[in-house]
């Protein structure tokens, strides 16, 4: 699997999300400033609610913009056994019951599932609980993640 193609898919998804969020923010701003939303009395909160929505949408746009900048700086490198798993690694994990999954570890803010070469790949940030546990690990290592009242155990099968 080509990590650079995977990274490009992540960037494309983030760009699309940013464009959609920008349109939503613009629409919310227009609604907040529209003359029909001027309060007619102290109980009329439509304009205030629209302003809150516009503010939240603007924050979301800025978060996506920052996430996109961070992900654009990612340069996936070949796996180095001495370094262990690091940002840009493509990791295959197995659970105790034999279920296997692929993860693409990167900076925070881009949790999504992608398809590449007939495989589903979970994009995971390094600040997510599982992402934190993976850093520095190597094939053959086991990690244990608390899930509710039990521990989920994973084995690192392969790293690219």
84-106 residue pLDDT tens:
999 999 999 999 999 999 999 99
Top pLDDT among 54 and 61 is at: 61
C-alpha distances in angstroms, 21 versus 15, 38, 46, 125?
Answer: 10, 25, 21, 21
pLDDT at 28 over 70: yes
Report, as an integer, the average pLDDT of 8-29: 93
Quick one: pLDDT at residue 116?
86
Q: From CA 47, how far away is CA 6, in angstroms rounded?
A: 43
Can you give the residue ranges of every domain in the chain? 1-71, 87-157
Residue listed under structure tokens 């907040």: 32
Residue 54's pLDDT band (cuts 50, 70, 90): confident
Residue listed under structure tokens 């992900």: 71
Quick one: pLDDT at residue 84?
97
Of 13, 128, 116, 132, the residue nearest 68 (C-alpha): 13
Strands 119-125 and 100-106 come out as parallel
Contact present, 115 and 102 (Cβ < 8 Å): no
Report, as an integer, the average pLDDT of 132-158: 96
**Number of C-beta neighbours around residue 79 at 10 A:** 19
CA 39 to chain centre: 39
Q: Write the DSSP string, 35-81.
A: GGGS-SSTT--HHHHHHHHHHHHHHHHHHHHHHHHHHHT-------T
* Percent of all residues in the chain with a pLDDT value above 70, rounded to a whole number: 90
Mean pLDDT of the chain: 91
Least confident of 33-42, 65-74, 99-108, 127-136: 33-42
CATH architecture of 87-157: Roll (3.10)
């Amino acid at each position: 699997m080509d990590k650079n193609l995977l990274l490009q898919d992540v960037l494309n998804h983030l760009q699309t999300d940013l464009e959609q969020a920008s349109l939503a923010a613009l629409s919310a701003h227009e609604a907040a400033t529209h003359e029909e939303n001027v309060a007619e009395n102290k109980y009329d909160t439509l304009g205030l609610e629209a302003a809150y929505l516009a503010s939240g949408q603007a924050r979301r746009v800025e978060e996506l913009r920052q996430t996109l900048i961070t992900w654009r700086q990612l340069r996936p490198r070949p796996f180095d056994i001495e370094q262990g798993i690091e940002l840009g690694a493509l990791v295959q994990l197995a659970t105790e019951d034999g279920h296997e999954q692929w993860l693409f570890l990167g900076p925070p803010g881009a949790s999504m599932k992608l398809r590449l070469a007939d495989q589903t790949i979970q994009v995971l940030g390094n600040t997510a609980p599982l992402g934190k546990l993976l850093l520095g690990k190597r094939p053959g290592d086991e990690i244990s993640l608390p899930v509710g009242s039990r521990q989920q155990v994973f084995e690192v099968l392969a790293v690219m």
